[in-house]
């Protein structure tokens, strides 16, 4: 999977490199419409999209994927995925390296929860985790899990969504 993704062009207009499939997402405008359609998902993403629907996580296969590359020291700012753009289930698969994802409750930012995203795992954001809690990844070179310092390596995530049009 990593070999296939690395053979595809990376966009480098953010602090981290990304690839968009299905629909391009406009981070500044936080919107998606038909004009941003890029075509069907490539086979490598479509396989997971169909699998996520077959497992009942999505009601039908997701049609948009953003691939994020995080080198050690890179992260993603706390955010809630665009509500008018995407339906209620978001799934992110971690490849290459584990990392800690930090959740902060919007209504009460003193409420925090750290979740280790293991290499090869999928995190499913639905309901409160999708709409009421921000998620982000701190730009660190290592995570501390149960008091143990774990150096980060290159992590690639594939985030699957269904576009609302």
Binding site for ligand AKG (CB under 6 A): 66, 68, 76, 81, 92, 135, 157, 159
β-bridge mates for residue 100, sequence order: 116
Whole-angstrom Cα distance, residue 54 to residue 36?
A: 27
Residue nearest ligand AKG by beta-carbon distance: 157
Closer by beta carbon to ligand AKG, 61 or else 133: 133
CB of 56 to ligand AKG, least distance (A): 21
CB 52 within 8 A of CB 91: yes
CB of 109 to ligand AKG, least distance (A): 18
Burial of 3 (0-12, 13-18, 19+ CB in 10 A): exposed
Closer by beta carbon to ligand AKG, 68 or else 89: 68
Closer by beta carbon to ligand AKG, 55 or else 118: 118
CB of 97 to ligand AKG, least distance (A): 11
Closer by beta carbon to ligand AKG, 61 or else 66: 66
Closer by beta carbon to ligand AKG, 14 or else 165: 14
Q: How many CB atoms lie within 10 A of CB 4?
A: 11
CB of 66 to ligand AKG, least distance (A): 5
CA neighbor of 25 nearest in space, from 37, 43, 9, 12: 37
CB of 35 to ligand AKG, least distance (A): 21
**Residue 49 phi, psi dihedral angles, 5° rounding:** -60, -45
CA neighbor of 61 nearest in space, from 83, 82, 45: 45
């Amino acid at each position: 999977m990593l070999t296939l993704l690395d053979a595809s062009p990376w966009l480098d207009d953010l602090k981290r490199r990304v690839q968009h499939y299905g629909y391009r997402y406009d981070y500044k405008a936080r919107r998606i419409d038909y004009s941003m359609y890029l075509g069907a998902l490539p086979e490598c993403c479509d396989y997971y999209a169909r699998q996520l629907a077959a497992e009942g996580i999505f009601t039908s296969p997701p049609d948009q994927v953003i691939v994020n590359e995080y080198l050690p020291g890179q992260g993603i700012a706390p955010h809630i995925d665009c509500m008018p753009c995407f339906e209620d289930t978001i799934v992110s698969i971690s490849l290459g390296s584990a990392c800690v994802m930090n959740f902060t409750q919007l209504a009460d930012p003193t409420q925090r929860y750290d979740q280790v995203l293991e290499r090869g795992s999928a995190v499913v954001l639905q309901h409160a985790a999708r709409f009421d809690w921000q998620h982000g990844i701190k730009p660190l070179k290592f995570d501390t899990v149960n008091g143990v310092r774990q150096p980060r390596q290159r992590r690639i995530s594939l985030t699957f969504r269904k576009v609302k049009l």
